[in-house]
C-alpha cells in the first residue's frame, strides 16, 4: 500500500512484524534477566579485583601449557596468549587472588615455561568503586537523555527511547552472561558507545514521526498509520547506516582478533558488534511499536490500528467513507419518507363512487 507524499519509500505494513518482535523481545528480555540473576556476568579484575601475571614465552608454548602450569595453584585462572607490537608472545594469567604467597607461587610456576613474569594487581575495593561509578554514570545518562527527548520531541518518545535503550543493554548483558564473555573497561566503553548509536536510530525514527504529525499535507488515520509511514520513509537510511557502521567493526573483530590474534580488541569489538545490531533492531521493532501503543491510548477507538489488520487509510479516505455513509443513510431516509407520504396519500384520497346502471323499465 502506498500513501503519503513520497512515492519512492517502502510500503511495508509493520504491524504484523511488530506483534512478532514484541513477543521475541519479551522472551529475550526474560531470558536475559534469568541469566543475570542465576549465572551472572564474568567481570574482569578491574571490577572485582585480582591480579594479572604475564610471562614472555616461545612461539610453541600454548594456552594449555600455561593452564597446566597454574592449575594446582589457583582454580579461577583465566589463561590466554597475547602478542605485543613487536610480535613477542606472552602467556597471560588472570585470577581474583591477590595474596602475596599465591602470587609468588604463580611467578615461580610461570618462570618455568618462559621468562620473568610481570605482575600487576587491582584491589577489590578499587574495582567496587569503578563499578559504582559506572552505575552512577549510566543512571545520569538515562536522566539526561529522558529530559532532552521530552523537551525536544515528546514525553511519549522519551519513554519509548529509554525502553529501547534498556532493551539493548539488558539483552547485550544477557548474551555476555550466556556465553561467559568477560566484562572489561573496554566493554563498558563499547556499551556507552552503542547507547549513542541506539538513540541515534530511535531519534531518526521519532523525528520523522514528529515531522509527519506537524505537516498539514501529511494526513493519516491515527498514530499507528503515521508511525508506520514514517518507518517506511527512514527504513533504508537506518539499514544503510547500520551496514556501514557494522562492516569496520566486523573487520576489527574477524581480522584483528581472530586472524591476527589481537585479543586486546576483542572485548571492545564484540560489544560494539552486538550492540549495533540490537540498536537497529530496537529502533524499528521496539521503539516504534512502543510509541504507537502509548499514543493509541488517547485516541478514538476507530483509530486504534496497532493490534488489528484494518487497512492503514489516510484521514481523508476515512472522512470520505464517513461522508459516503452519511449520504447513503440520508438517501435511504429520503426514500423511506417518500414511500410513507405516498402510502398515506393513497389511504386518505376518497375512492370514486361507482355509477349504478339504471334499469330500463
Q: For position 142, which CATH number holds?
A: 1.20.1640.10
Same domain, 97 and 145: no
Same domain, 82 and 156: no
Same domain, 141 and 284: yes
Looking at residue 260, its pLDDT comes to 58
Task: Provide φ and ψ at 312, rounded to 5°.
Answer: -85, 80
Looking at residue 287, its pLDDT comes to 92
Same domain, 177 and 299: yes
Same domain, 277 and 223: yes
Q: Where are the alpha helices (DSSP H) in 50-184?
A: 63-70, 100-111, 124-152, 155-179
| Cβ 127 vs Cβ 49: under 8 Å | yes
pLDDT for 351 beyond 80: no
Q: Is the dihedral of CA 69, 70, 75, 76 positive or negative?
A: negative
| Residue ranges making up the domain that contains 287 | 15-43+126-303
Q: Of 112, 116, 125, whose CA–CA distance to 53 is shortest?
A: 116
Dump pLDDT digits (tens) for 324-342: 443 444 445 455 545 554 5
Same domain, 230 and 132: yes
Same domain, 210 and 92: no
Distance CA 65, CA 59 (A): 12
Predicted model pTM: 0.72
- The grid coordinates of residue 30 equal 526474560
Dump pLDDT digits (tens) for 122-159: 776 776 787 788 788 888 888 888 898 899 888 889 99
Dump pLDDT digits (tens) for 2-43: 434 444 577 888 888 999 999 999 999 999 999 999 988 888
Amino acid at each position: 500500500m502506498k500513501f503519503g507524499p513520497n512515492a519512492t519509500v517502502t510500503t511495508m505494513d509493520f504491524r504484523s512484524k511488530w506483534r512478532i518482535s514484541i513477543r521475541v523481545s519479551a522472551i529475550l528480555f526474560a531470558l536475559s534477566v534469568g541469566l543475570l540473576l542465576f549465572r551472572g556476568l564474568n567481570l574482569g579484575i578491574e571490577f572485582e579485583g585480582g591480579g594479572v601475571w604475564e610471562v614472555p614465552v616461545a612461539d610453541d608454548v600454548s594456552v594449555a601449557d600455561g593452564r597446566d602450569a597454574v592449575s594446582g595453584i589457583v582454580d579461577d585462572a583465566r589463561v590466554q596468549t597475547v602478542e605485543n607490537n613487536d610480535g613477542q608472545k606472552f602467556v597471560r594469567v588472570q585470577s581474583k587472588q591477590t595474596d602475596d604467597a599465591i602470587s609468588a607461587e604463580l611467578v615461580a610456576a610461570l618462570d618455568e615455561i618462559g621468562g620473568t613474569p610481570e605482575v600487576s594487581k587491582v584491589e577489590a575495593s578499587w574495582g567496587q568503586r569503578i563499578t559504582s561509578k559506572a552505575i552512577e554514570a549510566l543512571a545520569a545518562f538515562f536522566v539526561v537523555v529522558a529530559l532532552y527527548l521530552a523537551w525536544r520531541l515528546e514525553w511519549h518518545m522519551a519513554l519509548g527511547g529509554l525502553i529501547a535503550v534498556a532493551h539493548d543493554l539488558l539483552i547485550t548483558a544477557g548474551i555476555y552472561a550466556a556465553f561467559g564473555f568477560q566484562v572489561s573497561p573496554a566493554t563498558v566503553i563499547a556499551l556507552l558507545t552503542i547507547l549513542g548509536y541506539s538513540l541515534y536510530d530511535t531519534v531518526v525514527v521519532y523525528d520523522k514521526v514528529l515531522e509527519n504529525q506537524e505537516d498539514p499535507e501529511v494526513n493519516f488515520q491515527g498514530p499507528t498509520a503515521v508511525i508506520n509511514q514514517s518507518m517506511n520513509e527512514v527504513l533504508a537510511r537506518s539499514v544503510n547506516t547500520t551496514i556501514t557502521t557494522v562492516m569496520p567493526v566486523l573487520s576489527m573483530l574477524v581480522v584483528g582478533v581472530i586472524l591476527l590474534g589481537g585479543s586486546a580488541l576483542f572485548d571492545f569489538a564484540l560489544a560494539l558488534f552486538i550492540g549495533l545490531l540490537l540498536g537497529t533492531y530496537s529502533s524499528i521493532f521496539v521503539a516504534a511499536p512502543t510509541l504507537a501503543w502509548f499514543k493509541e491510548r488517547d485516541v478514538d477507538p476507530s483509530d486504534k490500528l496497532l493490534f488489528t489488520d484494518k487497512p492503514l487509510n489516510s484521514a481523508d479516505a476515512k472522512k470520505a467513507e464517513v461522508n459516503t455513509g452519511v449520504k447513503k443513510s440520508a438517501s435511504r431516509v429520503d426514500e423511506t419518507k417518500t414511500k410513507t407520504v405516498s402510502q398515506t396519500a393513497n389511504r386518505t384520497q376518497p375512492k370514486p363512487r361507482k355509477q349504478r346502471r339504471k334499469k330500463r323499465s
